[in-house]
Structure 1
Amino acid sequence: MNRGAARQTIFRDSDCYTAFLDALAEAHSRFDLQIHAYCLMGNHYHLLVHTPRGNLSRGMRHINGVYTQRFNRLQRRDGPLFRGRYKAILVDADSYLLSLSRYIHRNPIETRKPLVGELEDYPWSSYPAYLNRVSLPEWLYRDFVYGALGRRNKFQAYRDYVEQGVDADIRAFYQRQRQAPIMGDDSFRARVLGEAGEISREVPRCERMLQVPESSDSLVAVVAEAFDLAVADIYARPGRGRGAWNPARALAMWLCQERAGMTLAEIGRLFGGIHYSGVSQAIRRLKGRLAEGEDGLKEIKVVMSMFSS
């Protein structure tokens, strides 16, 4: 889940909600995120997600970053939207997935002032799809939750289950001032922490971060989206006499170096066959302007905020 910075509204109209759902669809397609439930509220959102490829950070960075860009464009604003990195909780699916989906779906009425009279009338959660009242997005996975109910009439069974209210242990978990990063019994927590410890001992942190480098194409696509440019325009080598500084191109080069682990020579070949010294100069110039706090760098700052987690 994540909240707006200073609890500001992050969904102001239907276009904003739709833009966020589009980002979910893209995250499913690009990163194989399996979304079991969602609820979009005015100043925060909840997602129940499974990541078969273990790439939650990349998927969430895409969702938060791309949505921030689109929100800013829709609302004619700039700057960060969310208060920081998303809050992730590792869940014992066998024990808690069903009850957690209920907690998420009941959000619109579990407030001081309920947003709807009937929960199924709230359009910005996956609950209507669970009741088969709206078409099912291809990226929404309902079967695991239905399977936990173990009844034939899954739509009515799930409605009955949700109407019973939130479990006391789930409510207590979310009411804590500091929530634990793991939701499960002692044996589940011990198993998770034990596996994490073994990985940490076997692979140094810096190497773990570089095990699955991000592709140059995906990085350049993020920059193109932020600057409202075509990807080809960022890759293209400037013609003669066009030596003016190109912040989008410089940022893309820097990300390819930092996030994709590419050498300056490799980046030069990718960006139109320029010499590696030209790549170095562009990156150095970008860092200098950021360090000096120059105005007019809002797109760069938005993109960089996506990679801060």
Structure 2
Amino acid sequence: MARRLRIQYPGAWYHVSNRGHRDEAIVRNDIDRRRFLETLGETCRKSGWRVHAFALLTDHFHLIVETPRPNLVDAMKWFLGTYTSRFNHRHGVGGHLFTGRYRSQLLDAATPGVKARAAAYLHLNPLLDGAVRTLGDLATFEWTSYPSYVGDGAESVGWLERAAVLADAGRRDDAEGRIAFRRDTEESMASRPLESWDEFRSGWQIGSEPFRQQLLDRLESVRTPEASGKVWKESAELQAERMIQSRLAELGWDEAEMGRRSKTDPEKLSIARELRRETMMTIRWLADRLQLGARNTLRNALSASPAGDVFKKPRAAKVNRGVGSKKSSLPPRPIAPPPSTPAQSFTVEPGWD
């Protein structure tokens, strides 16, 4: 099975979650719950993590984590491994405690509301999971960070960071701010349909479109033919789309003109050949995007090309469009992030988990 890497950079924010192996319990009693939080605190001290919210349920957990250093993979390996060892030793069992791969979503911490919305989802989890019956009960459910946000502060564990989420919600970290935060949170939870939380159940990032584009831009240097997962699919599509737009601009076409052209138009087929050489997009994707008909239509058209088997050529072939035409252009360099989006320098973790 192809493995997927984690995106890491200094100051990254993540929504991290994991479930018990075969949906079994990861905590059996309050001693386990305290041990889980103690181990999380140790992870913060060792790694420099800043935990902004957490939710611990019987068979799964959620965290909102900020990593001042790009060390999500190493710290999660230590955290999950250490807690599993302690749990197994205490209960006299062995083997896996968690599912094989934890989920991590990058959060766009620069976009207002993202941090507060993510924390609200975590704090709502006991109600979604059936651990409590009403919104009011969430404030006394001690195995999330919510009581620390809305109480007098005495309930807070030492490593929990509240200020950033409260500020994102427009509240101060004082008694008045916590009361207002509880009111705002519970009103938002009561008014939002359950499906509105689905963004935290799937996907690899949550935030603005410029944030997503910036991440995809910088992933180009590490994408390989073996790469898999949603993030890589989006990265490959972005590269292909840029090549298409470059060729359309060169031809003086717009999308409507491409649609008016026949399914066997030489220029459209030329674009398809270039994309097959330079990207990892499938025949199905090319046929749909370039309006070239069914997959077999495109496959047959390319196979009939006098250039031969274009898919095996190691270098791009020149396309003759007549007198004065230009050579097919390479995809443009990755664009810089828009001025409204703070530039973030990040590295991609070279290891796989």
What band does the TM-score fall into relative to the shorter chain? 0.5 to 0.7
> Percent identical across equivalent pairs?
31
Residue number in structure 2 paired with 1:36: 52
1:123 has 2:142 as partner: yes
Check whether the contact 1:109–1:115 (CA below 8 A) recurs between aligned residues: yes
Residue number in structure 1 paired with 2:314: none
The residue identity in structure 1 corresponding to 2:198 is: A
What's the TM-score once normalised by structure 1's chain length? 0.60
CA distance in 1 between counterparts of 2:145 and 2:57 reads: 12
CA distance in 2 between counterparts of 1:113 and 1:123 reads: 11
The residue identity in structure 2 corresponding to 1:80 is: H
The residue identity in structure 1 corresponding to 2:39 is: A
Pick one of 89, 97, 107 that aligns with 1:91.
Answer: 107
After the TM superposition, which residues 1-309 of structure 1 pair with which residues of structure 2 at under 5 Å, given as runs? Answer: 1-93=17-109, 94-95=111-112, 96-112=114-130, 114=132, 118-133=137-152, 134-152=154-172, 153-166=176-189, 167=192, 170-174=196-200, 179-198=202-221, 200=222, 309=353
Check whether the contact 2:84–2:96 (CA below 8 A) recurs between aligned residues: yes
Structure 2 gaps of 5+ residues are: 1-16, 228-350
CA distance in 1 between counterparts of 2:143 and 2:205 reads: 27
The residue identity in structure 2 corresponding to 1:25 is: G
Query: Which range moves more in the overlay, 36-45 or 135-144?
Result: 135-144
1:46-73 deviation per Cα after TM superposition (whole angstroms, max 9, x unaligned)? 0000001010011111111111011111
What's the TM-score once normalised by structure 2's chain length? 0.53
Structure 1 gaps of 5+ residues are: 206-306
Residue number in structure 1 paired with 2:291: none
The number of equivalent residue pairs is 201
CA distance in 2 between counterparts of 1:113 and 1:33 reads: 28
- Give the helix-richer structure, 1 or 2: 1
Check whether the contact 1:103–1:170 (CA below 8 A) recurs between aligned residues: no
- SS of the aligned residue for 1:11 comes to coil
Q: Offset at 1:25?
A: 0.8
Q: Offset at 1:111?
A: 2.9
The residue identity in structure 2 corresponding to 1:144 is: A
Q: Offset at 1:122?
A: 0.6
Check whether the contact 2:53–2:122 (CA below 8 A) recurs between aligned residues: yes
Q: Offset at 1:186?
A: 1.7
Q: Offset at 1:110?
A: 1.9
Higher-Rg member (1/2) = 2
Q: Offset at 1:120?
A: 1.1
- SS of the aligned residue for 2:126 comes to coil
